[in-house]
Amino acid sequence: MKDFNYYTPKTVKEAVSTLAKLKGDGKIMCGGQSMLLLMKQNMLTPEHVVDIKGISELDYIKYDKEKGLTIGALATHDAVEKSSVIKKNYPVLAEMEDNLAVVQTRNWGTIGGNVCHGDPAADPPSVFIALNAKYRLAGPKGERIVDAGDFYKDYLEVDLAHDEILCEVQVPPIPADTGVAHGKLMAQKGDMGVVGAAASVTIDPSTGVCHDVRIVLTNVASTPFRAKNSEKVLIGKVIDGKLLEEAGMIAAEEVNPPADVHGSEEYRKDMARIFLKRVTGQAFERAKQKK
Ligand SMILES: Cc1cc2nc3c(=O)[nH]c(=O)nc-3n(C[C@H](O)[C@H](O)[C@H](O)COP(=O)(O)OP(=O)(O)OC[C@H]3O[C@@H](n4cnc5c(N)ncnc54)[C@H](O)[C@@H]3O)c2cc1C
């Protein structure tokens, strides 16, 4: 690994001003779980590393019935998985974390690091987009809020300036009569998904008709893939196996997955179809159970 200068700001303000002074040559590190892998292979060679793991003001998980959930960027995967407010109000997040990585990575890797890395195979961004979450960012000119769905620009590229830091993820309350689910194809538990899916389905409780749905697929494009054309097939109807198959087929046609040792492009397209069906179907069943 190449040598680098190392900075340890203790507040958001200090981190932002350090990054601004480094004029684009500084790189944030938090848990280092993704970054160090790239640095060890010299795929990333920052001259200045700004380690934000000591900014304790960003380490929190808060819940408010009206505003919803806020997860500070420094909250670890382990903290999200074990949080009692998350288990009670957003169980899909705890379920997702249970299948994310190994315990060592969950203990040290953070939500902020995961969502800012911009890996299209990552699990939390898909669930956050399905839950209509927003990200709060801080920079030298103040703060801004970005929809999770607009944050991902390309492979490992996100809407974050060189002197900005992600402060928190804001998840609105889950609407009534809504079911949410996440699932992924893993070679073994805790692996990155070969393909994954997250879905949120809202129904009219008296008729069972779906009036809102958000479906996101992972590892099938250069960013998390929102399956909007599949969603259109389901809105205004009572979801059944035939509709789910149609929605899955549409997504399989539209995605542009990578091919690697874990699966060919063709295999991933088929898994996109299957996981869209399976996970959206599960979200629909959960919405019905809320009646
Ligand atoms: C063995 C292993 C298995 C894994 N399995 C999974 C899996 O199944 N599913 C999954 O989703 N992920 C998986 N991961 C990825 C893991 O979740 C991430 O590595 C981890 O969450 C990243 O957090 P970090 O704090 O270590 O980030 P870092 O590695 O420190 O940073 C990652 C990126 O985010 C940027 N960054 C970090 N924090 C901020 C911030 N607050 N503001 C702005 N930019 C920031 C950094 O500059 C860097 O570009 C796995 C990782 C490993 C090592």
Q: What is the whole-number distance in angstroms between the Cα of residue 286 and the centre of ligand 1?
A: 30
Q: What is the predicted pLDDT for the residue at 290?
A: 81
CB 24 within 8 A of CB 46: no
Distance CA 222, CA 262 (A): 16
Atom of ligand 1 nearest to the CA of 114: 21
**DSSP letters for 2-49:** ---EEE--SSHHHHHHHHHHTTT-EEEESS-TTHHHHHHTTS---SEE
Which secondary structure element, helix H or strand E, spans residue 179, and what is its range? strand 178-184
- Quote the tokens at residue 239: 């979801």
CB 140 within 8 A of CB 20: yes
- Quote the tokens at residue 265: 């492009």
203 C-beta closer than 6 A to ligand 1: no
The verdict on pTM exceeding 0.95 is yes
Q: What is the whole-number distance in angstroms between the Cα of residue 196 and the centre of ligand 1?
A: 17
Where in 15-155 does DSSP place strands (E)? 26-29, 48-51, 61-64, 68-72, 134-139, 142-147, 152-154
Q: What is the whole-number distance in angstroms between the Cα of residue 62 and the centre of ligand 1?
A: 21
Q: What is the whole-number distance in angstroms between the Cα of residue 234 and the centre of ligand 1?
A: 34
pLDDT in tens, the chain (291 residues): 899 999 999 999 999 999 999 999 999 999 999 999 999 999 999 999 999 999 999 999 999 999 999 999 999 999 999 999 999 999 999 999 999 999 999 999 999 999 999 999 999 999 999 999 999 999 999 999 999 999 999 999 999 999 999 999 999 999 999 999 999 999 999 899 999 999 999 999 999 999 999 999 999 999 999 999 999 999 999 999 999 999 999 999 999 999 999 999 999 999 999 999 999 999 999 999 985
Atom of ligand 1 nearest to the CA of 125: 11
CB 230 within 8 A of CB 251: yes
Is 261 buried (19+), middle (13-18) or exposed (0-12) by CB count in 10 A?
exposed
CB 170 within 8 A of CB 101: no
